[in-house]
Amino acid sequence: MKHPKDFSEFVYGSGTIKMEDEFAFISKISPKQTHQPSLICGIGDDAAVYRGAPNLDEVVCVDTMVEGIHFRRDTLTPFQIGKKGLAINVSDVAAMGAVPAFYLVSIAIPPTWTEEELGEVFKGMDEIAKQHNMDLIGGDTVSIKESLVLTVTVIGRVEKGRGLYRSSAKAGDLIFITGAVGSSAAGLDLLFEKGLNGDFNEKEQILVKSHQEPLPHVAEGRMLAYSQKRIALNDVSDGVASEANEIAEASQVKMIIEADKLPIHEAMNAYPLEKRLKWALFGGEDFVLIGTVPKEEAVELADQFQTQGHLFKIIGFVEAGPASVYIKQDDELKKLKKHGYNHFQKRG
């Protein structure tokens, strides 16, 4: 992690402290061991160095979380903020059928955060990293006047020719999903209603945890990559409607999702159907995988997933036509717009 060249002092916690303390903090959060044998030089130099491989493709993604926009401290603990910050990037790698290997963290810290809280953010990321044998190999640390900004870059690998893309769907394919949807949005609503330390019953706790600590579907992505079938794939970060539209646009096909086939966790059964569908289609942050597969190969994939204890649920089908997504409910079709969060949309 490099120091901010434009600052002679580093600001966080209750006041301004000298740059030496930044280095001490970086030393505290630097990994004491590594997991990837290809790593040559991690944190401690101007850049990280690792060996490439002739039979692998490198996969890189980056995501930024801004306090007050992507997370709030009354819905997530610092540990959960870090855990989620890395998990959302690992999910992007999973959607390519790849294995995450390395990550870098750039963090802009306001005076409202203490060193202890920042340490918890990195502990949260470390928990996800250990689950996938990932190494933290660098980043940057700067001061900011207000609102924590966390940017995470993840580097992964997939075997040459086995990467999975949104553009592979064709008419006649079936649409599948690898986990329940809408749980995260339901959990967020509960957190808004009751607060971080609210009195949640058993079912509500399931929904709250779905929002606070999502689990990226890396194993499922790897199974799909290894199947060597023609698969279009995306992760559900902005809701089923948005992610299906991205596949439809990339593949130039029409996708029909059947409402009664969407996997919705039983913990949501107490809510009206309309609300459950809204959360599933437009809520987002479930980080399961949605994709398409040729009809004749769907049963084999479903059997493989069941054998490994993973969900593989058919939720619709693909037709020829202009790029679009429809929801089928009670024999009626309704067009689903790409309804994800837009940072630059004008708001009233």
Q: Which residues does the annotation place in the binding site for substrate?
A: 70, 285, 341
Helices (H), the chain: 19-29, 78-94, 115-131, 183-194, 202-212, 218-226, 240-251, 273-282, 298-307
Q: Which segments are annotated as binding site?
A: 46, 63, 70, 92, 139-140, 166, 235, 237-238, 285, 341
Any bridge partners for residue 64, and if so which? 151
Q: Which segments are annotated as binding site for Mg(2+)?
A: 46, 63, 92, 140, 235, 238
Q: Which two tokens stand for residue 77?
A: 């603990």
Question: Is 148:84 a contact under the CB 8 Å cutoff?
Answer: no
| DSSP percent split of the chain into helix, strand, coil, nearest 5 | 35, 30, 35
Q: Which residue has the tokens 């207000």?
A: 146
Question: Is 217:235 a contact under the CB 8 Å cutoff?
Answer: yes
Q: Which segments are annotated as binding site for ATP?
A: 139-140, 166, 237
Residue 99 C-beta-side C-alpha neighbours within 13 Å: 15
Residue 272 C-beta-side C-alpha neighbours within 13 Å: 3
Chain-centre distance for alpha carbon 291: 16
How far apart are the C-alpha atoms of 62 and 152, rounded to whole Å? Answer: 6
Q: Which two tokens stand for residue 261?
A: 């086939």
Q: Which two tokens stand for residue 247?
A: 């596949």
Q: What are phi and psi of 93, to 5 degrees?
A: -65, -40
